[in-house]
Amino acid sequence: MPVRVVLNQDEIPRQWYNIAADLPSPMQPPLGPDGNPISPDMLAPVFPMNLIEQEVSQERWIDIPEEVLEILYRWRPSPLLRATRLEKALGTPARIYYKNESVSPPGSHKPNTAVPQAWYNKQFGIEKLTTETGAGQWGSALSFAGALVGLEVKVYMVRISFDQKPFRKIMMETWGGTCIPSPSPNTQAGRAALEKDPDTPGSLGIAISEAIEEAVTDPSGKTRYSLGSVLNHVLLHQTIIGLEAKKQLEKIGENKVDVVIGCAGGGSNFAGLAFPFVLDKINGAEIDIIPVEPTSCPTMTRAPFAYDHGDTAKMTPLLPMHTLGHDFIPPPIHAGGLRYHGIAPLISQTIVEGLISPEAIPQLECYEAAVTFARTEGFVVAPETSHAVASAIREAKKAKEEGKEKVIIFNMSGHGLMDLVGYDKYFAGELVNHVLPEDEIQRALNAIEGLPKPEINKSGKW
């Protein structure tokens, strides 16, 4: 019985899949401060033009550069595993598969986009990338990519995480990256925040503002900004996960998948696994495709599809997405990567089209699932990933009740070895579930009142 399914280096997918080409109705364009669609040119101070082209591309398949593949080979194709031991523990007739993205050097799926982003920037003549990081996963991945591609990387890390997670900073420095706490005195945005409150714990919103400011104000013009999720080109780069998974399932004769699962904060690891299966669904296959979020930050399950800023400081264009409002601050749960007020526009659109079925799971069920997984399959997953595990277990139990031999696949987006504090608190009984009261959500949504509303089916040509 196959437990482990691998692909040889020469079986790696050589193109990314761009779902924008196949969505039944066109994507709504991002809007500028004046409420009008922004042109690709307007993003040029922030991103290099070759990535902007990917951001707006309608091509179904986009070639992966050979030099990018040469780096990805260090951990890709990643293994597909069958959770035979978890299946047995659950007594389910379902066959559960998981794609192990924890084998990358930084330990998550993030380098799948960090490497091409660094490479395209380098090709475009850029010498330095700036970014922000919350829990540290993305800052580590971009530092790693910068080292291998040959780019300077500067990471603004939210001060409270910077203080609480010193190991993430050391990881970044080992790869030659620079990591500084945000707010910092380096930027206008940072200085303003510090003036307001010298002891501020910082926020992702401020860190994004600082990173963008440093990129766009570099007089040499050789600095750009890089984002680890949400945007179209980021999700595009992650589709290598699902494309590999399909080849692997085919290799062992699993020709029909019933359920596809990934956790979703900004949405990139979910989209990476799921979008190639969404294509099958668009073409008529019956598949349940489930992005999983925490009940404490129910963007997809309880928030409207609206135009909103990607950041708290309102520096980014307005993006069409499910959003709790840019002012929303989720309760402190341990899955830091899932604490985002919005979700990728491409995912929002697939929700609106009825192609995927979001689910929200409370924190304790996720940790319980993660511990079951660790003690059956052996892997200690990241707190974010635990949401996918919990959903897979729900689906496997459902299959048992229904007596159906379903095929379930989920994305094991990262290991939890850098985030063990959450497990410790779970064992100590210190964690709680957060389910947001409706009036709190309504209050948060005030932030988007007065902003333009997206219209589905309206032409979305940039």
| Neighbouring residues of 384: CB distance < 8 A, sequence distance ≥ 6 | 263, 265, 335, 336, 337, 338, 413, 414
160 binds a copy of itself (CB under 8 A): no
Residue choice 38, 376, 397, 433 for contact with a copy of itself (CB under 8 A):
376
Instruction: Let me know: does 187 contact 214? Beta carbons within 8 Å.
Output: yes
Q: Interaction with a copy of itself in 172-201: which residues (CB under 8 A)?
A: 173-176
254 binds a copy of itself (CB under 8 A): no
CB of 375 to a copy of itself, least distance (A): 4
Instruction: Let me know: does 125 contact 95? Beta carbons within 8 Å.
Output: no
Q: Interaction with a copy of itself in 377-416: which residues (CB under 8 A)?
A: 377-380, 415
Region of 1-9, 210-218, 272-280, 400-408 interacting with a copy of itself (CB under 8 A): 1-9
CB of 291 to a copy of itself, least distance (A): 26
Instruction: Let me know: does 259 contact 290? Beta carbons within 8 Å.
Output: yes
Instruction: Tell me whether residue 135 or residue 448 sits nearer to a copy of itself (CB atom).
Output: 135
The token pair that represents 175 in the structure block: 């790869």
Instruction: Let me know: does 390 contact 365? Beta carbons within 8 Å.
Output: yes
256 binds a copy of itself (CB under 8 A): no
Instruction: Tell me whether residue 157 or residue 313 sits nearer to a copy of itself (CB atom).
Output: 157
| Neighbouring residues of 210: CB distance < 8 A, sequence distance ≥ 6 | 132, 156, 182, 183, 184, 186, 187, 189, 190
Instruction: Tell me whether residue 49 or residue 421 sits nearer to a copy of itself (CB atom).
Output: 421
CB of 425 to a copy of itself, least distance (A): 10
Instruction: Tell me whether residue 20 or residue 180 sits nearer to a copy of itself (CB atom).
Output: 180
CB-based burial label for 429 (10 Å; 0-12, 13-18, 19+): exposed
* Cα–Cα distance measured from residue 312 to residue 205, given in angstroms and rounded to the nearest whole number: 4
* Cα–Cα distance measured from residue 69 to residue 82, given in angstroms and rounded to the nearest whole number: 26
* Cα–Cα distance measured from residue 413 to residue 106, given in angstroms and rounded to the nearest whole number: 11
Interface pattern 414-453 for a copy of itself (x via CB under 8 A): -x-xx-xx-xx--x--------------------------
CB of 109 to a copy of itself, least distance (A): 15
Region of 50-58, 299-307, 374-382, 444-452 interacting with a copy of itself (CB under 8 A): 374-382
Residue choice 84, 178, 301, 433 for contact with a copy of itself (CB under 8 A):
84
71 binds a copy of itself (CB under 8 A): yes
163 binds a copy of itself (CB under 8 A): no
Number of residues that bind a copy of itself (CB under 8 A): 46
Instruction: Tell me whether residue 132 or residue 419 sits nearer to a copy of itself (CB atom).
Output: 419
Q: For helices 49-56 and 111-123, give the axis angle rounded to 10 degrees.
A: 130
CB of 276 to a copy of itself, least distance (A): 22
| Neighbouring residues of 146: CB distance < 8 A, sequence distance ≥ 6 | 118, 129, 152, 153, 175, 176, 177
How far is C-alpha 55 from the geometric centre of its chain's CA atoms?
A: 16
CB of 250 to a copy of itself, least distance (A): 15
The DSSP annotation for 247-296 comes to: HHHHHTT-----EEEEE-SSSHHHHHHHHHHHHHHHTT---EEEEEEETT
250 binds a copy of itself (CB under 8 A): no
* Cα–Cα distance measured from residue 144 to residue 19, given in angstroms and rounded to the nearest whole number: 28
Instruction: Tell me whether residue 139 or residue 310 sits nearer to a copy of itself (CB atom).
Output: 139
The binding site for a copy of itself (CB under 8 A) comprises 2-9, 70-71, 73-74, 76, 81, 84-85, 103, 105, 107, 144, 147-148, 166-167, 170-171, 173-176, 371, 374-380, 415, 417-418, 420-421, 423-424, 427
